[in-house]
Amino acid sequence: MGFLREFIRNPRQTGSIAASSGPVVRMMTESLDLSSARRVIELGAGTGALTEGLLRRLDSDATLVAVELNREFADALRDRLTSDSNTVHVANRSAADLPELVREHRLGEVDAVCSSLPWTLMTPDVRGATLDAIVDVLADDGELVTLTCLHQAATAQGRRLRQMLRERFGQVRRQRVVWAAVPPMFAYRCSEPVRPAERGDRVGASATRRAT
Ligand SMILES: C[S@@+](CC[C@H](N)C(=O)[O-])C[C@H]1O[C@@H](n2cnc3c(N)ncnc32)[C@H](O)[C@@H]1O
């Protein structure tokens, strides 16, 4: 099951020509506090590079739900993935369905979301709805770590993504750049989810910041 083939078939959805390399998987999994996480979601699992990295670090009583929109990737991952200790599910669904998925798997509040979704290739509406779905399922002390290409961070779409994250999280911290990746990558680590009722003020505040 090749990334390149799926990228040629659907570049905007696939978002990459290759699976994440070891150094990227390390940076992503080290960016989350997985020692105490019991309910973990991965968004855009692809062929499972990050899924396997997460399983290596999670405690034996943790549950991982890996969400992947591409049916072929999801089926292949489900067939291949085994874990001696953790409970792991592969869901062939959109990340925007997260609240329903969490209900179906009876997860309750989620401790950690690990995303490698191609945010900058999504329409603003889908990106917003998917970020809202993440905020909806996260526990108050839950965290999102989301992978980004370094060169995209300075584009209008990259700046818009950062702004959308800041509207939805009290803290958005950049993680170290993985220069060994092609292209170089980093992640945003986002904590203190802002519930929709509190968000009006933050949208106003970020509009004021932009205007000044
Ligand atoms: C850049 S790849 C990352 C794959 C893998 N996690 C890795 O690091 O090698 C992004 C993945 O997100 C999936 N994807 C894109 N949009 C999605 C969505 N809305 N919901 C779930 N998965 C999605 C793509 O099919 C693709 O497998």
CB 142 within 8 A of CB 113: yes
CB 165 within 8 A of CB 105: no
Structural domain boundaries enclosing 111: 3-211
CB 28 within 8 A of CB 147: yes
Whether pLDDT at 197 is above 80: yes
CB 54 within 8 A of CB 110: no
Whether pLDDT at 208 is above 60: no
As a dihedral over the C-alpha atoms of residue 54, residue 56, residue 61, residue 67, rounded to 10 degrees, the angle is: 30
The pLDDT value recorded for residue 178 is: 97
Nearest to 68 by CA among 104, 9, 118, 108: 118
Whether 193 lines ligand 1, by a CB cut-off of 6 Å, is no
The pLDDT value recorded for residue 211 is: 42
With the C-alpha atoms ordered 91, 93, 95, 96, is the resulting torsion angle positive or negative? Answer: negative
Whether 54 lines ligand 1, by a CB cut-off of 6 Å, is no
CATH number for the domain spanning 115: value is: 3.40.50.150
The pLDDT value recorded for residue 1 is: 58
- CA dist 2 to 44, 45, 47, 107, 118, Å? 15, 14, 8, 31, 17
The pLDDT value recorded for residue 212 is: 40
For the question of whether the overall pTM of this predicted structure is more than 0.85, the answer is yes
Q: Ligand 1 centroid vs 14 CA: distance in angstroms?
A: 6
18: confidence class by pLDDT, cuts 50, 70, 90: confident
CB 54 within 8 A of CB 114: yes
**Given ligand 1 and candidates 70, 97, 113, which is best to mutate, with the most ligand atoms within 8 Å of its CB?**
70
For the record, the structure tokens of 44 come out as 């855009």
Distance in angstroms (rounded) separating the CA atoms of residues 185 and 47: 18
Q: How many domains does the chain have?
A: 1
Write the pLDDT tens digit of every residue in 121-156: 899 999 999 999 999 999 999 999 999 999 999 999
The pLDDT value recorded for residue 17 is: 86
Q: Ligand 1 centroid vs 160 CA: distance in angstroms?
A: 20
Average pLDDT, the chain: 91
Q: Ligand 1 centroid vs 16 CA: distance in angstroms?
A: 9
Residues in the chain: 212
For ligand 1, atom 24, the nearest C-alpha belongs to 14
The pLDDT value recorded for residue 199 is: 80
Q: Ligand 1 centroid vs 94 CA: distance in angstroms?
A: 10
Distance in angstroms (rounded) separating the CA atoms of residues 136 and 83: 28
Whether pLDDT at 206 is above 70: no
Helix axes 156-168, 124-137, angle to 10 degrees: 30
For ligand 1, atom 13, the nearest C-alpha belongs to 44
Mean pLDDT throughout 15-28? 93
Nearest to 187 by CA among 209, 161, 207: 161
Identify the burial level of 196 via C-beta atoms within 10 angstroms of its C-beta, where 0-12 means exposed, 13-18 middle and 19 or more buried: exposed
The pLDDT value recorded for residue 83 is: 62
The pLDDT value recorded for residue 200 is: 74
The pLDDT value recorded for residue 204 is: 55
Write the pLDDT tens digit of every residue in 36-82: 999 999 999 999 999 999 999 999 899 999 999 999 999 999 988 86
Greater pLDDT, 164 or 199? 164
The pLDDT value recorded for residue 84 is: 65
